[in-house]
Amino acid sequence: MSFSTSSFVNPVASLFFATIVRWLGWVRDWCLREGTWPVPCWASLSGDWKGFEMSTDLALHLGWKANLLGIVNSASLDIFILAGQSNMAGRGGVVRGRWDQYVPPQCWPNRRISRLNAGRQWEEAHEPLHADIDAGKACGVGPGMAFANEVVRARGSDEVVGLVPCAVGGTRISAWARGTSLYSELVSRALESAKNGGSIRAVLWYQGESDTVIRADAEGYRANMERLVMDLRSDLKIPDLLVIQVVLASGEGKFTDVVRKAQLEINLPNVKCVDAKGLPLKADNLHLTTASEVRLGLMLAHAFLGS
């Protein structure tokens, strides 16, 4: 009796690929039902973390793009402006100028969370949120996705969140004053985000590290921040706009405590503080670790939910 390897291999190969296809179908159905995509699973299938980008594309092809367009044009969309410098833009997981591409579960994409990209188009939100906003710098995990996922979790299935990233690393507060390019871009993006429905619920602000280098900057921080809040409320036509400010965990210079004191002494209605002091820092003693960014996102979410 002759024996052919092809007569054995072909059925086995067919069974193997049929099983894989069936398994992917189960995963697809679960994703559509739960409204999320298991990023690590897809990444492991692809053999590297580039699968994160593939998962977003696949989700859109599975029909989420149509759902997203309906969500971001909904009057129920809660919009949050993310502004400040590098710790808001996200440096979690960035080592020697490269992001390690690790996305914690608290930061995974969710079909009820979108972001306004640099082209001012809504898309499914994913890390790094500021990749096309804080251009020319290596962006990693920030607090935005953990914040949004916690708000969605706490508020239930009807909650939809739109994130508007605006943070730029290495900027002093004077660079955000009315009339500057950063201020104009923030206001313009914020207005664009609510053009087709939804409401701007809060500005999440994490900035000040660059104002710790020169004493005059540090001592003038309170007045500059209060003026910024009032200008934003005026130009966005939201007199009681909630501003949640992160009190510094670190600084570039020796006047960190001066800026922290200024932040804690701001005396305006509907301005809340979340203190980042004590959150673990990376080796540079300036930027938050990935775990710290996640923790900060949860702290910001709880501050908003308690407002």
Active-site residue set: 86, 284, 287
User: 247: which strand partners?
Assistant: 275
Q: Which residues contact 249 (CB under 8 A, 6 or more apart)?
A: 87, 276, 277, 278, 279, 281, 288, 292
Structure tokens at 214: 């020169």
Residue type, 241: L
Angle (CA) 257 260 262, round 5°? 110
Q: Tell me if residue 302 falls in helix, strand or coil.
A: helix
Question: Which pairs count as long-range contacts for 286-290, CB under 8 Å and 24+ apart, including other chains?
Answer: 286/86, 286/209, 286/250, 286/251, 286/252, 287/86, 287/87, 287/91, 287/92, 287/94, 287/250, 288/87, 288/91, 288/92, 288/249, 289/92, 290/92, 290/93, 290/102, 290/104, 290/140, 290/141
